[in-house]
Every structure is written in C-alpha cells, then in structure tokens.
Chain A
Amino acid sequence: MSNNRGVLRFIARRLALGVLTLFVVSLVVFTATQLLPSDPAQAILGRNATTASVNALRTKLGLDHSAFYQYTHWLKGMVSGNPGDSFNAQQPILDFIGDRVVNSLFLLVLASAISIPAALWLGGYSARRRDSTFDNVTSNGMLALASLPEFVVGIILVLVFSVRIFHFLPAVSAIGIGKGPWSDMKGMVLPTATLVIGAVPYISRVVRASMIEVMESDYIEMARLKGAPEKVVLWRHALPNALGPVFQVIALNIAYFAAGVIVVEALFNYPGIGGALRDSVRVRDIPVIQFLVMVLATVYVITNLAADVATVLVTPRLRTRIQ
C-alpha cells in the first residue's frame, strides 16, 4: 500500500517538475519572440500600410498591452485550449492546425511502432551474438546510419525508390484536404522509413550496450552457476535489469521524432506541424511558432516523464527508495 503511495508521490513530483519545465520554456519562448526587431503588425500589413491601419491591427492583436499582460493572456489561452489567431492566416490557430497535428501524430506513431520493436530486436540479437559477423556488420552499418542527417537519408530514399532506380513510391505525400493520412498509405512509406532509419541506430545501440552490460554482470554469472536454464537467465535475470536505459532512449527518440518531423515533412511536403513550423518561421507568424514550440516541448516532457516512471517501476532499488 505504502509502495503505491510512494510511486504516486513520485509521479506527482515529476509531473510538477515537468510543468515547471514547460512554464520556463513558455517564458523563454515568449521573451524570445518579444525580442523580434520588427513590429509584427507592420510586418503583416507590409511597408505601404497606413499608420492608422497598423495601429488598429496592433490593438486587435493585443500588442499595445504590456508584455506581462500579453504573456499572461497568451498563457491563459494556451492552457485553456485557445492559443489565439495566426498572424498570417488571420484565423484561429486550432482551426487550421488541428488536421496537421493529427497527421504528424500518425507519422510519429507509425515510425515508433516500427522502429522500437525493430531496434529492440536488433540490439538484443547483436548483444547475444556479440562480436559475431552479424554484430560487426550491423554495428558498423548502424554507425554510418546514425551519422547521417535525416534529410540526407530521406533524399537518398527518394533517389533510390521514386526517381532514379525504382519508381514505385511517391516522392511527395498527397494527403487530400480533410482526409486522414491513412488515405495515402503509399505516400507514408518514405517519410516513415526516413524517421525509422534515423531512430533505429540509436535505440539499438543503447539496447545492445545495456544488454551486454547486464550479461557481463556478476548476477548473471551467478544465475548460470546456480544452474539456471538460458531462457530463465535471459528473461528473468537479464531483461528486467536492461529495461531502464531502454525506456530512457525510447523517450529520447520520440522526442527526436518530434524534431525529425520538421525536416521530413518539409522533404516530403507532408502536411504536418513540422511543415507548419517551417512556414511560420519563414513569415514570422509568432502565435503559430509559440503554439507549435509549446506542443513539441510538451511531447518532450511527457515522454520523459513516462520513461522516468517506467524506469522506476521496473527498478526495485529506485522504487523502494522513493517511498
């Protein structure tokens, strides 16, 4: 009983820390966008706009209030699910970004669902076949892939599968307006593959190292000296101890996907939040930038929180200490 309460308290504390991190991020992001050298109202209306119309827009955008008021107003809006209007599109952000969030999320889930099991298998298998040809070939291959920036991976995939060598996969996504990304599964292949190729090397390397460390440990030697069958050694003695670092790296990679989508979506013209972020940076659409950055930071904080909690749950030493 006290055990559960301890874990709950731990989760509450981590949650509070996550909220604090997000709060600081919001402060940083807001302050940073306030530093903008030019006046957003002027920027939206262009050089030829009259002073009167600029002032009117400033009032409409709330730019004539103090920075503190603007911040609290914005923060209130963010928390209550109303992040405000886009400067550029002149309409509520949620109206046109909702679909894109769904599209990006779909891409992210798809990439995770493929890369995590693949990396776990690859890393675990390499660890068991340590120093074998398989291990050497994969670890060198993974090393090369881990070094490549994701847009280079994406372009190479395009060159190979849709333009130069084979021609059976589309180089750009063609998701119809109002239709989900599942309407164009063929178009999903290359964006997903790019993200998977970017993530697998990282996860599998950590899985391999973590597995090897565990397999070299005294307690695994002890289990073998007790006469434990290899299956029991692996599943009962090794796996629970190897999970912690793996959770951490999975969380890190989901956060990595959140960044990876920016480049990948630009590359494949995929209508997600990454593409939206790039476009709003180009036209300095501050509210959209602020909103998207907060969304991505939230993804980061949540996945890290989940990983920490999962790590604590599988590690008795941590679990009993937090009581």
Chain B
Amino acid sequence: MEIALSITDLRIDVAGSGADIVDDVNLTIAPGEVLGLVGESGSGKTTVGLAVLGHARRGVKLARGDVSIGDAAMLALGDVALRHVRGKLVSYVPQDPSTALNPALRIIKQLTEVLEFHDFGGSDTARRARVQEVMSEVLLPSTPEFMRRYPHQLSGGQQQRVGLAMAFACRPSVIVLDEPTTGLDVSTQAHVLTTIRELCHAHSVAALYVTHDLAVVANLADRVAVMYAGRIIEQGPASELFFNPAHPYTRHLIAAAPDMSTDHEMVGLRGRAPAPGRRPLGCSFAPRCELAIDQCRAEFPAEQEVAIGRLVRCIRPFEVPQRTQHMTAHSAPIAASATHALMVRDVCASYTGHEVVHNVDLHVDRGECLALVGESGSGKTTLSRSIGGLHREWTGEILLGSERLAPSARDRTTAQRLRIQYVFQNPYSSLQPRRTVGDSVARPLLIGGASRTDAARKVGEMLERVALTASYANRFPDQLSGGERQRVAIARALVSRPEVLVCDEVTSALDVLVQASIVELLGELRRDLGLAMLFVTHNLPLVASIADQIAVLADGKLVEAGPTERVLHFPEAEYTKRLIADTPQISDVS
C-alpha cells in the first residue's frame, strides 16, 4: 500500500520537565485516505497534529520519533527546509478560523501569499488563476469584491472555507485538520465536511482529521485512531471500530456519544484522564477501567493486531464488562394536573428593540422534560433567559403554576425566584471562583430564610445527591473538574427544591464522557424529584435520551413541537428534517 504520511515512535514532552505529553505514537495514512484522530481534551491529539508539520507550541518539545511525508523527514528538517514544505507538502486547517486568519490582511492576500511562498505556478497570472480555482473548489465566490474582504467580514463557515482554500492551495499531499468544524452550526458543518471529503478524495490528499466528535469521524473518516492520555490505544477501519470496539475506553466513548436511535442509552464514566507527569506505570486507563487486572497496572500493554488492520493496546480486547442495568430515562409524567408547571404564552423577546423571539408558546409539566432545540441565533437562549428572569425585554406571559412572572428576576418574589432555577452552559464561569462550593450552594437556602446549620446540612445532602460527597463543600471551584463543577451548579439549582429547572446547554462545554454522566444525573433527578425540566440545546441526538417532548426553534419561531420519538423519527417541519439529516451520528457509519 502506498503511504503518504507515516508517524513512527513519536514522543512529545513538556519542555524542561521531560514528562511525556504524547508517546509511542505510530500511524500511517494512504493518499486519499481520511484518518480520524479521536480523543478528549488533553489527550494530545492536537499536539500530534502539529507535529506532523514539524511544529511544537511553546513549552512543548518534539522529543523523539519520525514523521515522514514522501522523502521529507519532518522532525529532522532545519528551519528553512521546514518552511519550504509547510503549506506546500503538508498543510494545516486550524480549529478556530476567526483567530487563525490574520485580521489585518485581506483574504486574497492571505491566499495568494501561500502560493508566493512556495513559488506555485511560477507567475502571478498562474497564481491568480489558482486562487480562483481553489476558491471555487471550496465553494466560495471568487468575485473581486469578496476576495477583498477582511476575515471579520465573513461568516464562520466562510472563514473556515478560506482556511480550507489556504490549505489546499498548493495541492499538498498531506493535510492536518484540527477540529475544523467546532463552533459551526450542524448544517454548515455538514457542508464543510462534504467539501473536505470530496477534496481529499479528488486530489488524493491524505488527511489527518483531529477531533473529539465521534459522530463527525463516523461520517467522514476511513480509519479511526483513538487517543487516551497521550497514547493511541486503538486504531482500525471506522466501520469495524465503531461497530465492535476492542478497547474498553473506545467502548465507553461510543456508549457516551449521543445518538438519535431511541434504544441508545448514554452512559458516562467518572474520573478523568491522567495529565502528563502523573501517568501511572501501567495502562493509563486502568484506574478507570472495570476490566483492569493487576497485569494492566504493571506495564503499558503493547500494540497487538486483533484483526486485519485493527491494532489495540489492551490485554483484554473485546471483553465486555457486566453492567448494572440502567433505568430508562423515559417515564410518564407524574399525574397531570390542570395547570402546567411552566407555561410560556405568546412570548416575544427582543434585543435593544430588535425582536429575536416571535410569539412562542410552550409548556412543561411536573416530572416532564421539554427539550428546546435550535441552532445558534435561533433565540433559544434568549427565551430561556427570559424564563429565568435574566432577560427583561419580552412581552407575553410566562406562568409558573398559576402565577404570572415579572420580566426581571428582581421584580419576582423570593418564592418565585427559588421555584424556578437555572443551570448555565459553562461551569467554568457559573461558580464564583473565590467562594467555596458550600457557600455557593447554600446561598439559595439562606435567601429562602434557612438557618446556617440547616443550610449546611441540606448542602451536604444535596452534594451527595449529585454524586459528590459532602466534603466538597469546603472546596473551591478551581479544585474541581468541569464535570464536578457542573454537578455543583446542579446542586445549587436544586437545593431549594425548585419546581422548574432550566438547563441552558449544560453539557456543551464538557467532554463526551462527562456529558453523558451529567445527562444521566439530570434524568435521574428529574424522575426522583418530579422536576419540570426545560433542556435547552443545539445538540439534537443529545435530547433523544433525556426529553419527553421536543420544541424546535428556528429564527425565533417555534417550527415544530411534539413527543421526542415522533419529532426525531417522523419530523414534519422542513427545518427539522434538514436539521436531522445534517446531524452526524455514529450509527451513520458506512
């Protein structure tokens, strides 16, 4: 088999300390092949991606190994030689084009200069023609007006297409794509992914696609490599790997990934991957692995070929641990009463006079979960903040039980404020960093008039309820992981026993395993406490396992509402159909 890129025995260290960020990485990619490099944040996947271009960020040292692209040994090249191959032989598509495109240069300049650096085409005329060509390849207009724009005058999708155009401009043989669709809406993402796939196949480019998103990889990649704590623990053809994972970690990742098929239950995993310098002697997944035996802790398992083209670093491949049966998240709403727990009637919300939510009607009953789904800019967050009393500019009616709520939380009664609680998107910003967990969680109780001792007791109980321990009360947020912080935020929201819980994209800042365990927890709490839950998200597959009802919001209008299964499997609105079609899923793997 022809090989475009081969990585052998790559080790990358923290400069100075010598702790390994990445070690023992071996990969090959054939021309025209897309390899998905999957891992959670901190797994070292981006570091490997940059090493392919012979680049290490500040504080990082390429310690050992070989990266070969054709005749070029990327790690052995000097500065000048590296410059000649970067952008020409191997190119890079950045994660966030809004910061990776130079704000002071027009896009035509940023495109043309790549060709100039490498003297592509030999003449200015040829280069101009190539720019035109590559712009149409990435489906961007090549009018002079468009080419003269600055990056900030483009949409996110267009910016990423410019990034692709820069990468493909010199017809490289290898291309590294670093989560290029993060932050894009699903429909934009679907289009960008199609472009990537077509360009790679058409021009026989070997692509290393770095991502945390298994669903994207399932749709795009021919082969997949899974990274955990700086090691590739499993690699193989995408279809086989997703269908029958060999490594327990891969199995967990797949189990945790949201999927629209209704029999799929998201299962999370506690704990986190060990950081460089703190990795155990043996398998770095052993501390979290149900299958771990003493031998796992003795040394890191060597790579073994368990089937044709399938490599895994585990001594117990394909074994499936006995799992306790999980309860299904779907449960009938608790005895429907005459009034809904939360009712939104004819609500219009605006930003500085500009209406962004138009005449929305919703209701949630006790014990029920309503998912409010929409892409960015759909108005879903504005609506949920209006419900929470954080956004004041709205008209219409929001009823909590039978009480009409004032627009601003300040104008509501204390009882009303405590009966409706809000969990925010980003757990890194929703807890006051200079206050202990206990003080943060106790606040709603103290406002409600509880005594300090009473509050302390209830805080302890609540922390246990969200699967932390009472001793977390003494900690500060920066001592907690993202998942733990989100649990604390949930505890704070639930400690005053609210009737309505608004969850605003609560998992979007979290890694997939953590996301799954938070969703599990929320489902459990809703059942046990009989909460009416409004689950706001852009992630359609995610709602399958938690919501009873779905309301789809587009451009501020409610386009579809109904029971989860019906909406996911028999969508009526065109918008919903397109959204579902554009949403990548693991079960789509070909």
B residues 123-165 in Cβ contact with A at 8 Å: 150, 152-153
B100 and A218 form a contact (CB under 8 A): yes
Chain B residue contacts of A228, Cβ below 8 A: 83, 87, 113, 117
A residues 227-279 in Cβ contact with B at 8 Å: 227-229, 232, 236-237, 240-241
Q: Does B487 contact A (CB under 8 A)?
A: no
B104 and A240 form a contact (CB under 8 A): yes
> Which residue of the partner chain B has the closest CB to A239?
B104
Q: Mark B171-183, 1 if CB is under 8 A from A, else 0.
A: 0000000000000
Q: Does B99 contact A (CB under 8 A)?
A: yes
B55 and A223 form a contact (CB under 8 A): no
Closest beta carbon of chain B to A3's beta carbon, Å: 11
Q: Does A82 contact B (CB under 8 A)?
A: no
Partner of B102, one of A237, A314, A320: A237
Q: Does B485 contact A (CB under 8 A)?
A: no
Q: Does B465 contact A (CB under 8 A)?
A: no
Partner of B103, one of A226, A227, A316: A316
Closest beta carbon of chain B to A58's beta carbon, Å: 55
Partner of B105, one of A217, A218, A227, A237: A237
Report the bound CA distance from A294 to B91 in whole Å: 58
Chain B residue contacts of A315, Cβ below 8 A: 103-104
B104 and A226 form a contact (CB under 8 A): no
Report the bound CA distance from A221 to B176 in whole Å: 14
A219 and B117 form a contact (CB under 8 A): no
Chain B residue contacts of A229, Cβ below 8 A: 83, 117
Q: Does B53 contact A (CB under 8 A)?
A: yes
A320 and B152 form a contact (CB under 8 A): yes
> Which residue of the partner chain B has the closest CB to A215?
B58
Q: Does B34 contact A (CB under 8 A)?
A: no
A217/B87 contact (C-beta < 8 A), A224-B55, A229-B117, A316-B152 known: no
Q: Does A216 contact B (CB under 8 A)?
A: yes
Q: Does B363 contact A (CB under 8 A)?
A: no
Q: Does A225 contact B (CB under 8 A)?
A: yes
Q: Does B75 contact A (CB under 8 A)?
A: no
How many interface contacts (CB-CB < 8 Å) are there between A and B? 79
Report the bound CA distance from A225 to B117 in whole Å: 11
Chain B residue contacts of A314, Cβ below 8 A: 104
Closest beta carbon of chain A to B359's beta carbon, Å: 33
A320/B153 contact (C-beta < 8 A), A216-B58, A224-B55, A227-B87 known: yes
Q: Does B84 contact A (CB under 8 A)?
A: yes
Q: Does B11 contact A (CB under 8 A)?
A: no
B92 and A222 form a contact (CB under 8 A): yes
Chain A residue contacts of B113, Cβ below 8 A: 226, 228, 232, 236
Q: Mark A105-133, 1 if CB is under 8 A from B, else 0.
A: 00000000000000000000000000000
Closest beta carbon of chain A to B88's beta carbon, Å: 6
A residues 191-235 in Cβ contact with B at 8 Å: 216-219, 221-229, 232
A226 and B117 form a contact (CB under 8 A): yes
Q: Does A317 contact B (CB under 8 A)?
A: yes
What would 10 more interface pairs be, CB under 8 Å, given A222-B101, A225-B50?
A219-B99, A219-B100, A226-B114, A227-B86, A227-B114, A228-B117, A237-B105, A315-B103, A320-B152, A320-B153
Q: Which residues of A line the B interface, CB within 8 A? A: 216-219, 221-229, 232, 236-237, 240-241, 314-317, 320
Mind listing 19 A-B residue pairs with CB under 8 Å? A216-B58, A219-B103, A221-B55, A221-B94, A222-B92, A222-B101, A224-B83, A226-B86, A226-B92, A227-B84, A227-B85, A227-B117, A228-B117, A229-B83, A229-B117, A237-B104, A237-B105, A314-B104, A315-B104
